[in-house]
Amino acid sequence: MGTVFSAFSEYPLRLHFQDQMEGEKVVLLLRQHPVINIPWITSSLLLFILPLFTNSLYNFLGLDIGKIIPAFFLPSLLLIYYLILLAFIFLSFLRWFFNVYIVTDHRIFDLDYHSFLFFNVSEAPLENIQDVSFHVNGGGGIIFNYGDVFIQTAAEKAEFDFLKVPNPALVHDKITDLLQNIRRKEVSP
């Protein structure tokens, strides 16, 4: 269970999607680990306070900002600057929030959000999964417990990459457990 903004939700109760089959249960809802957002958040904060220091910088350099940019343009330029910054923050958050990986008891989904108008949805039945592996790379991955899960399939999309997801070992184990359950059902009469 988890909140709306969780990067790792096991058996989310209120998650339903458009093409969900009757009786299909969502096992995992995954997003990239929240620590992945630190670079764009940090740069956004720095860009937010940057205008506070530009006037001091111009004074330090001995430049008169009024000669470079007319004073009546400054509020408009500042407004445009902050609107662009706000758009950058909004799109960065949406890219993180809507890039999701869903594992159900029947299928896996990879939803890649690129912008307001462009997204890709890939899915594969669990029966088509041939191999599942995971990798934890670098100090950040070890410290914050995130990594990549690679799923080889015999479906139209040959490989699904769940990138920088929390608890990659647990994700790997959940998917392989689902695969074992399906294979047991196929073998038993």
Q: Looking at residue 182, what is its pLDDT?
A: 86
What's the pLDDT at 2? 58
User: What pLDDT, on a 0 to 100 scale, did the predictor assign at position 149?
Assistant: 97
Give the per-residue pLDDT at 178.
95
- Residue 11 DSSP class: S
User: Would you identify the CATH topology of the domain 8-32+99-187?
Assistant: PH-domain like (2.30.29)
Q: What is the pLDDT of residue 147?
A: 97
CB distance 65 to 53 below 8 Å = no
For the chain, residues with pLDDT lower than 70 are 1-3, 55, 57-68, 71, 155, 188-189
pLDDT at 16 (0 to 100): 82
Residue 52: what residue type?
Answer: L
48 contact partners, CB below 8 Å, separation of at least 6 = 82, 85
**Secondary structure letter of residue 21 according to DSSP:** P
DSSP for 60-89, written as a single string: HTT--HHHHS-GGGHHHHHHHHHHHHHHHH
Instruction: Provide the 3-class DSSP secondary structure of residue 112.
Output: strand
Query: What pLDDT, on a 0 to 100 scale, did the predictor assign at position 186?
Result: 74
